[in-house]
Structure 1
Amino acid sequence: MQQAVPIQGDTFNDNRGKMKFFNAFDMSPIVRFYEIAPSSIDIIRAWQGHNLEKKWFYCHSGSFVINIVSIADHSATDFSPERYELSADTPLVLEVPEGNATGFKAILPHSKLMVFSDFTLEESAKDDIRFPLETWNAKW
């Protein structure tokens, strides 16, 4: 599995307020983005994967747990997903390479997650692979 890559951002504060920035985040491959705002912290969105599509995740409100697994490991029942926590308080973009499936859950009410993709919606739909929630034993 190609490992997820945390892209660290930074903040700047002065009398005008606070700014978060991601100078190391190369957005040139991105062709679309969308926001996910779960209606409840009880909802788990898992597992969706892609053989070719790459995604980037950024939590701009609240907090999320994101679990990542290699699609190649879909038959390994004892496999533990790679777990990340994203928080609006910490400027971080999580790059998830192609060949992986993701699952995520909001930790705090009113959390919002931005998802960036290098595929159009039509390309993504052709590359979409879904697995039942119980396929992997993830810590939510």
Structure 2
Amino acid sequence: MIFHKVFDGSNFSDKRGGLIFFNTFDMSELVRMYEISPSDTTNIRGWQGHKKEKKWFYCNAGSFIVNLIKVDNFEKPSKTLVAKRHVLTAEQPRIIEISGGYATAFKANEANSKLIVFSNFSLEDSQEDDFRFSVDNWTAAW
């Protein structure tokens, strides 16, 4: 079973302006979206996990490091789990899909970066499937 996927986007520009598109990204599962604008580039948000909820991350300004951990036990996860690192940038359009079973942590690499997050759960359902862990719980490359 695949627990995360990457959708590479494309861009086009002409005299009218630019266009970024993701023609292979199926949005039929999406229920809500929100945008995160970190106050600085030192703050790490995470670790936050979900057993069932699926999320998609897209950087529409600046750049972010996103680390993923496949959680072995949400009540008492192993401290030796290994993070998988992704870099998202506005210049290289890409969406990361993260299935349930993962915890994520991320930080902005540049001032004024913005991350759009899509979810297949309502806010109420997400809150019932929300697991928070200390940022120091696992080692990750920032």
TM category, shorter: over 0.9
Q: Give the deviation of 1:10 after TM superposition.
A: 0.5
Q: Does 1:92 align with 2:82?
A: no
Output one character per residue of 1:2-21: Cα deviation in whole Å (capped at 9) or x when no partner: 43210111111111111100
Q: Give the deviation of 1:118 after TM superposition.
A: 0.1
Among all aligned residue pairs of Structure 1 and Structure 2, give the percentage whose two residues are the same amino acid: 46
Equivalent in the alignment of 1:136: 138
Mapped partners of 2:138, 2:127: distance in 1: 23
- Segments of structure 1 that go 5 or more residues without pairing to the other structure are none
Cα RMSD after superposing both structures: 1.3
- Segments of structure 2 that go 5 or more residues without pairing to the other structure are none
Amino acid at match of 2:67: N
Equivalent in the alignment of 2:34: 34
Equivalent in the alignment of 2:104: 102
Mapped partners of 1:41, 1:33: distance in 2: 22
Mapped partners of 2:81, 2:71: distance in 1: 11
Mapped partners of 1:4, 1:52: distance in 2: 13
Equivalent in the alignment of 1:21: 21
CA contact (8 A) 1:32 1:116 kept: yes
Q: Mapping of 1:36-115 within 5 angstroms?
A: 36-72=36-72, 75-115=77-117
